[in-house]
Amino acid sequence: MHRRTFLQCGLAGLALIGASPLVAGCSRAHRSDLRLTDDVITAPSLLDGDRMKMLHYASLAPSGHNSQPWAVRVVSADEWIVEADPNRRLPAVDPDNREALLSIGAFVENLVIAAGAAGFICDIELLAVSPTDRDLLRVSLAPGRCSGYPLARLEMRRTVKHGFRMEPLRSPDLAFLSASLGDRLHYFPRDTQHADCLREATTENFRVQSLRDDAQRELTGWLRLSSRATRRNRDGLTVESMEIGGLAGWFVRHWSDPGDFLKPRFRQQGIDATARMAAEGGGWIVITSPGSTVADLIDTGRRFQRMALLARERGIAIHPMTQALEEAGGREQFSKLHPGGIIPQFVLRVGYLDRYPEPVSPRRPVTWFLKPDFSARTHRA
Ligand SMILES: Cc1cc2nc3c(=O)[nH]c(=O)nc-3n(C[C@H](O)[C@H](O)[C@H](O)COP(=O)(O)O)c2cc1C
């Protein structure tokens, strides 16, 4: 059969049985293949093993399209500059770097937690004035007391998209999750008017975005469909992280390339799948911030991450669905419906799971995002 016909027949039918574990044995790149290994810790580097480990834990933070928009410049063993990597921007869906800064906030939160667990205090100084500045934060390490924070929370957190139960979140669980966010967390149980509105806005704005060529082209640039592409880049969206399971996953991994996702049929499949996902779960959480400065965005990313790290313990899945905040129509709708003014930063679908899956999305090794500070050397020379 011709490759294209084979692909068309296969995907049309097999997308329907996407959850089937029939082809579990085919080779895939998993987070476990890419785990922190001795060679990462002892790789010839600017930093010692403890500091490399802290940065590895920081890099387990979530990011839009798993773009991992961070870089770290080493001024000295105990002074680093956290940068936004200009090559990892998402101009079509995140032209103002809002999501990049939220993601880097999550990275910084993981870093502070991992440093605390290793017996260090991190002092964080804001350097950036504009959201598009490269140098965002100065991190200074000083000796402190070990916090005892369970780092497994950082390793086991993940975004989950499928298998949500239709049961609203219970009050004690909501209180547990809200600790870092207080009144910035707004929960809307399923089947309430607000939840229906968020479901519709998410589905509609996903549709609008899928039909926007620049956004879809940008997305395809972050697809890592084959195991080889995953291992080579160790970022972006894989078949596993998109939760395309079973035979459908096998087909996509072996028979499609990212360019296929520009075709109308693929776009429609994404739209249909999103509508189904948006209808699943126990409701929606919206996280707001008091302002939109760089400091506000980093702070909101940090608070979000503190919450996300707790979710697994309560069996709660968190799925950011951001399109309503990325598309102009979605943002207009938010401001029209909230004339008093709110600043939404995250739209999250939430729900209990029967079985919490393992993390699968890849990360770059620390050595790939670490760089020396040449200017510091020049000054000291
Ligand atoms: C600011 C931000 C926006 C995101 N938006 C979406 C989204 O719209 N849809 C989605 O499926 N995942 C979204 N994600 C989740 C990322 O795709 C996910 O964090 C990334 O692929 C890494 O996977 P992990 O969270 O399992 O480690 C978002 C994450 C962040 C931090």
Q: Same domain for 166 and 283? A: yes
CA of 76 to the centre of ligand 1 (A): 32
Q: Compute the half-sphere exposure of residue 163: CA atoms within 13 Å on the CB side of its CA.
A: 16
CA of 167 to the centre of ligand 1 (A): 23
Got the DSSP string for 182-237? Answer: GGGEEEEETTSHHHHHHHHHHHHHHHHHHT-HHHHHHHHTTEE-SHHHHHHH--SE
Confidence of residue 18 (pLDDT cuts 50, 70, 90): very low
Q: Assess if residue 125 is contained within a domain.
A: yes
Nearest CA to ligand 1 atom 2: 64
Q: Same domain for 132 and 241? A: no
Tens-digit pLDDT profile for residues 34-79: 566 555 555 567 899 999 999 999 999 999 999 999 999 999 999 9
Nearest CA to ligand 1 atom 4: 64
Mean pLDDT of 328-337: 94
Tens-digit pLDDT profile for residues 189-240: 999 999 999 999 999 999 999 999 999 999 999 999 999 999 999 999 999 9
Q: Assess if residue 78 is contained within a domain.
A: yes
Q: Same domain for 188 and 325? A: yes
pLDDT number for residue 294: 98
Q: Same domain for 164 and 24? A: yes
Mean pLDDT of 181-195: 96
Would the pLDDT of 308 be above 80?
A: yes
Which residue range(s) make up the domain with 228? 3-28+159-352
Q: What is the pTM of this model?
A: 0.92
Q: Assess if residue 343 is contained within a domain.
A: yes
Q: Same domain for 24 and 39? A: no
Question: HEC profile for 140-189?
Answer: EEEECCCCCCCCHHHHHCCCCCCCECCCCCCHHHHHHHHCCCHHHEEEEE
Give the tokens for residue 82: 């956290």
Give the tokens for residue 92: 């079509």
Q: Same domain for 322 and 368? A: no
pLDDT number for residue 53: 96
Find the CATH number of the domain harbouring 196: 3.40.109
Burial of 209 (0-12, 13-18, 19+ CB in 10 A): buried
- Under 8 Å between Cβ of 364 and 68: yes
Closest ligand 1 atom to residue 237 Cα is 21
Q: Compute the half-sphere exposure of residue 13: CA atoms within 13 Å on the CB side of its CA.
A: 6
Give the tokens for residue 46: 């600017």
- Under 8 Å between Cβ of 99 and 287: no
Confidence of residue 380 (pLDDT cuts 50, 70, 90): very low
Residues with CB under 6 A from ligand 1: 62-64, 66, 99, 102-103, 106, 158-159, 237, 241, 320-323, 359, 361
Q: Same domain for 10 and 72? A: no
Q: In whole numbers, what is the pLDDT of the chain averaged over residues?
A: 90
Residue among 59, 159, 353 whose CB has most ligand 1 atoms within 8 A, to mutate: 159
Q: Same domain for 145 and 250? A: no
Domain count, the chain: 2
CA of 63 to the centre of ligand 1 (A): 5
Provide the angle, in degrees to the nearest 10, between the axes of the packed helices 193-210 and 213-220: 80
pLDDT number for residue 315: 98
Q: Assess if residue 358 is contained within a domain.
A: no
Q: Same domain for 235 and 330? A: yes
Neighbours of 380 (CB within 10 A): 9
CA of 103 to the centre of ligand 1 (A): 9
Closest ligand 1 atom to residue 323 Cα is 8
Q: Compute the half-sphere exposure of residue 213: CA atoms within 13 Å on the CB side of its CA.
A: 1
Q: Among 186, 238, 172, which Cα is nearest to 350's?
A: 186
Q: Residue count of the chain, please give it.
A: 381
Closest ligand 1 atom to residue 103 Cα is 31
Q: Assess if residue 92 is contained within a domain.
A: yes
Q: Which of helix, strand or coil describes residue 276?
A: helix
Helix (H) or strand (E) holding 246: helix 246-255
Q: Same domain for 106 and 193? A: no
pLDDT number for residue 20: 34
Q: Same domain for 183 and 332? A: yes
